[in-house]
Amino acid sequence: MTLPNGLTPEAASQQAARAYELDRRHVFHSWSAQAQINPMTITATQGCYVWDGDGNRLLDFSSQLVNTNIGHQHPKVVAAVQEQAATLCTVAPQHVNAARSEAARLIAERTPGELNKIFFTNGGAEAVEHAVRMARLHTGRYKVLTRYRSYHGGTETAINLTGDPRRWPNDHGNAGVVHFFGPFLYRTQFHASNETEESERALAHLEQTIAFEGPSTIAAIVLESIPGTAGIMVPPPGYLAGVRALCDKHGIILIADEVMSGFGRTGKWFAIDHFDVVPDLLTFAKGVNSGYVPLGGVAISPAIAATFDDRAYPGGLTYSGHPLATAAAVATIDAMADERIIENAADIGAEVLGPGLRELAARHPSIGEVRGTGVFWALELVRDRATREPLAPYGGTSQAMTEVAAECRAAGLLVFINFNRLHVVPPCVVSAAEAKEGLALLDQALTVADRHTV
């Protein structure tokens, strides 16, 4: 029996041992205390599955870093990258290239409203950097408002915009960034008892923040349409429309960060499509080509694009719109449309994951709340349902969460874990049978969490 990539188990295990040894000697890992990590080696991937260095098959309900929306090794995307590599590997950004042009057309067609021009980057953080730069130059203002409980990327402006503890050690350069609270009923800052109150009070808080910061100084409000890493808090009805109205009133640019929530993750092309709101700038990455080759970008409104018709845009990247990355995007977007992958994500969310996770919540006292849509779900794990005391503190981890993560892995399930939350974020191509398999494995792992409840 060989692995999907043709490696024999023996060859895979030898390769894994060598890779691990070299990794620990030479690779410096993101966001980690280097001496304290024991990273998993992956030797093969296929669809919703990955194989680890010991030959175990795991169901990938993390989509890696919530990016493999189309699943692993999709044959049409692999073929498109191979074909592009054989035809034309690289061109400088100042030249026109067929893959880039077509990717821009396909993305512009799918983004909401008239966001018809696309600036390509290598990933999500750069997309956010450039969106903010465009907003500042377009408005002539400097301040940017963004919410606590958010993640916008690891580069200078993006990490300063981020509303999670990864910002703290990087906070020195945050001139002009102001954080506010967004709606999150389960842990409401506004003493709200229902979604309507939460929405109204969060909007009133934002309006006050704008008034106190000085509306004429504010270039942009940056929001994840549905915050991802921070907890998949689907905004209550009316909230995003209310933010749009405040932006219109004060001439503030609305930047929707769709890096994690875009390209099918929520069961629509973009999360903001659920709310009938059109931003001025929309950032994307991850799902645009499922990360087969690094790619991100900004979709730009006609008014902002026009600012740079006769004035040079002061920004660029050697690999902007790289042919391999944009060819992968073209194949991904075409396959998503042809194979009804986004419809699948919506159906799996509505028919399997949503009901299945709620059913788990009925039996596991450690689940405080289930929230999400499409293939974008979070379980809020708590020690005590009555007080909502989290199973790990904000910004930290705990013995209980470490045990839950280990149990998932031992059961054969990869999930995304952040503080006290467990995110169920499989590829958009996940089948009903795979989703049910994942729920059964989760059921098993959650018994470990239950032992830590009061």
Ligand X SMILES: Cc1ncc(COP(=O)(O)O)c(C=O)c1O
Q: What is residue 78's three-state secondary structure?
A: helix
What gap in Å lies between CA 329 and CA 336, rounded to an integer?
10
What gap in Å lies between CA 63 and CA 286, rounded to an integer?
10
Cα–Cα distances in angstroms (integers) from residue 216 to residues 141, 210, 269, in the given order: 7, 9, 33
Closest to ligand X by CB, 131 vs 408, is 131
Closest to ligand X by CB, 43 vs 68, is 68
What gap in Å lies between CA 133 and CA 169, rounded to an integer?
23
Closest to ligand X by CB, 123 vs 368, is 123
Closest to ligand X by CB, 143 vs 265, is 265
What gap in Å lies between CA 249 and CA 213, rounded to an integer?
15
CA angle 332, 333, 338 (to 5 degrees): 100
Closest to ligand X by CB, 145 vs 439, is 145
Report, in Å, the least distance between residue 154 CB and ligand X: 6
- Which of left, alpha, beta for 195 (phi over 0: left; psi -120 to 50: alpha)? alpha
Closest to ligand X by CB, 219 vs 232, is 232
- Within 277-335, strands assigned E span 281-284, 296-300
Report, in Å, the least distance between residue 96 CB and ligand X: 25
Asked if 189 and 157 count as a contact pair (C-beta separation under 8 A), the reply is no
Report, in Å, the least distance between residue 277 CB and ligand X: 17
Report, in Å, the least distance between residue 254 CB and ligand X: 15
Report, in Å, the least distance between residue 256 CB and ligand X: 10
Which tokens in the block code for residue 104?
A: 């821009």
What gap in Å lies between CA 380 and CA 390, rounded to an integer?
8
What gap in Å lies between CA 97 and CA 404, rounded to an integer?
48
Report, in Å, the least distance between residue 230 CB and ligand X: 9
Report, in Å, the least distance between residue 158 CB and ligand X: 6
Closest to ligand X by CB, 51 vs 180, is 180
Closest to ligand X by CB, 138 vs 423, is 423
Closest to ligand X by CB, 224 vs 434, is 224
CA dihedral 338, 348, 351, 232 (to 10 degrees): -130
Closest to ligand X by CB, 70 vs 448, is 70
Report, in Å, the least distance between residue 257 CB and ligand X: 5
Cα–Cα distances in angstroms (integers) from residue 146 to residues 167, 191, 243, 299, 425, in the given order: 13, 21, 12, 19, 24
Report, in Å, the least distance between residue 343 CB and ligand X: 23
Cα–Cα distances in angstroms (integers) from residue 81 to residues 42, 73, 386, in the given order: 21, 11, 52
Asked if 103 and 329 count as a contact pair (C-beta separation under 8 A), the reply is yes
Closest to ligand X by CB, 72 vs 152, is 152
Report, in Å, the least distance between residue 439 CB and ligand X: 24
Residues making contact with ligand X (CB under 6 A): 65, 123-125, 128, 151-153, 224, 228-229, 257, 259-260, 285, 296
What gap in Å lies between CA 373 and CA 364, rounded to an integer?
21
Q: Which residue is nearest to ligand X (CB)?
A: 124
- Provide the pairing of β-strand 416-418 with 421-424: antiparallel
Cα–Cα distances in angstroms (integers) from residue 382 to residues 310, 378, 386, 447, 449, in the given order: 55, 13, 9, 13, 9
Report, in Å, the least distance between residue 155 CB and ligand X: 7
What gap in Å lies between CA 452 and CA 391, rounded to an integer?
8
